[in-house]
Amino acid sequence: MHDSRRTRLVLGVLLAVALALITIDARNSSASPIRGLRALGGAIFGTAESLAGAVARPVAGFFAGAGPRSHSQATVSALQREVVQLRGELSQAQLSKAQAAQLRSLLQVAGRGRYRIVAANVVAAGPAYEETVTIDAGSADGIKPGETVLNGAGLVGTIASVSPHTATVLLVTDAAAKVGVRVAPNGETGLVNGLGRSQPGPAHLRLQVFDASAVLRPGEPVVTFGGWPYAPGVPVGVITRVVVNVTALTKIAYVRPFADDGALGVVGVIVVPPRHNPRFAVLPPRPRPSTSPVPARTASPAPTASATPTATAG
């Protein structure tokens, strides 16, 4: 059975099937064979992942604070404290205490925005190019595709697909994600999209404000605008850099997300959006992130433009 016509025949058939699947999926990702395959994968692997997640969570959680993915100083110090805690007593009770802390802050955010949420755990993360995670709650818990996911810090992403007991979250930092936002003090509207893995270093978002004459300053927080698929008022991040480009029709800025996608634990899915737009009420009462990160950030992740402390273009 070394290499024969049969082998080549099998190889050819398999390649043809793969190409056919790719083509069908690229044309219409909701076609029935693809949807069936994904549902099957969700049923099989999702269950296994939510089981394995319970085992793997301590492992991933142990390393969570040690890596270079946690960026903001507040997060770093918080996670370092958490790591010290974890190393002190690596027990399930301790882990669930950390989870309880995350859940508490999540519930605070949900209470401020009057979101009705379903809490879930992140059990798996996507492969190299993708910024996706799996959570251990699915359609059995009332989760539907398109709903907003947040954690105690801010916006996490949106539900991309559900299976009975798991759901896939497309993170804000993914290159396919686009969020309509509102910049805090003045209320300019814009669009935030993720950059994927196209830039080294910490994940950043790209903010595009439609009004070219808007004045943006680093440190201003950004919340979701509302409207499908995102619930209104969820904190997204804080502006770190404003790109000065006089000829552009829109204003470009870079936003550091509040939620660190490398250290996601307990998240909540907004199953019922609030009746009234909370606008900026969900933001922390004092503009905590606007004071700390600006002098601290020395690394400039985007090579495209120069950073200016105040941008007055247009």
Partner 1 sequence: MRRVLLATAAVLAAILLQVTVLNNLPLPGSAPPDLVLVVVVALALAGGPLEGAVIGFAAGLAVDIAPPASHLVGQSALAFCLAGYGCGRLRGTLERSAWLPVTAVAAGAAAGEALYALVGLTFGDPDITLQSVRQVLPYVVIYDLLICPFVLYAVARLGGYAQWSGGAAPAGLLTGRELRLSGAGLLGLAGAGGAVRDTGTGRSPRLRPAAAHRADAWISAGRGQPGGAGARVDRPRPLRLRLGGGVAGSAAGGQRGQARPPRLLPAVHLRLAAPRRRDGVIATRRGAAGAAFSVGRAPAPAGRSAGLRGASLSGGPSALRSPRPRRFALPPPLRFSRPRRSAPPPPSRFSRPRRFALPPPPRFSRPRRFALPPPSGQPGRAAKPRTARLRLGRRHRDAVVGGGRLASGTWSGGASRGGQMRPGSGSGATPRFRRPSARRQRSATRLRSAGPKFRRPRTRRWWPAGWRRGRKPIMGRGGKR
Contacts to partner 1 from residues 196-235, by CB under 8 A: 196-200
Compute the least distance from the CB of residue 269 to partner 1, in Å: 15
Q: How far is the CB of 87 from partner 1 (least distance, A)?
A: 16
Asked if 18 and 33 count as a contact pair (C-beta separation under 8 A), the reply is no
* Residue numbers 76-105 binding partner 1 by CB under 8 A: none
Q: Quick one: which of 102, 121, 161, 224 contacts partner 1 (CB under 8 A)?
A: 161
Count of residues that bind partner 1 according to CB under 8 A: 76
Smallest separation, CB 188 to partner 1 (Å) = 25
Buried residues in 127-151 as b, exposed as e (16+ CB within 10 A): eeebbbbbbbbbbebebeeebbbbb
> Which range of residues in 126-134, 143-151, 247-255, 273-281 is near partner 1 by CB under 8 A?
126-134
Task: Name the one range near partner 1 by CB under 8 A: 113-121, 144-152, 166-174, 304-312.
Answer: 166-174
Residue 127 near partner 1 by CB under 8 A? yes
Residue 101 CB, nearest distance to partner 1 (Å)?
A: 19
Q: Taking the complex as a whole, how short is the minimal distance between the CB of residue 226 and partner 1, in angstroms?
A: 24
Indicate whether 30 belongs to the interface with partner 1 (CB under 8 A): no
- In the complex with partner 1, the residue whose CB is nearer, 27 or 275, is 27
Per rule CB under 8 A, is residue 140 in the interface with partner 1? no
Instruction: Pick the binder of partner 1 from 90, 100, 176, 299 (CB under 8 A).
Output: 176
Pick the binder of partner 1 from 151, 158, 166, 290 (CB under 8 A). Answer: 166
Binding segment toward partner 1, per CB under 8 A, in 131-139, 148-156, 233-241, 286-294: 131-139
d(CA 235, CA 290): 13
Q: How far is the CB of 293 from partner 1 (least distance, A)?
A: 20
The string of DSSP letters for the chain reads --S-HHHHHHHHHHHHHHHHHHHHHHH-TT-HHHHHHHHHHIIIIIHHHHHHHHHHHHHHHHHHTTSTT--SHHHHHHHHHHHHHHHH--SHHHHHHHHHHHHHHHHHHHHHHT-EEEEEEEEEE--TT--EEEES--GGGT--TT-EEE-SSSEEEEEEEE-SS-EEEEETTSTT-EEEEEETTT--EEEEEE-TTSSSSS--EEEEES-TT----TT-EEEE--STTSPTT-EEEEEEEEE--TT-SSEEEEEEESS-TTS--EEEEEEE--SS--TTTTS-SS-HHHHSHHHH------SSS---SS----
Contacts to partner 1 from residues 239-278, by CB under 8 A: 262-263
Q: Does 22 bind partner 1 (CB under 8 A)?
A: yes
Interface segment toward partner 1; rule CB under 8 A; list 23-31, 95-103, 228-236, 306-314: 23-31
For position 49 contacting partner 1 by CB under 8 A, the verdict is yes
Q: Which of 148, 151, 163, 240 binds partner 1 (CB under 8 A)?
A: 163
d(C-alpha 218, C-alpha 18), whole Å: 47
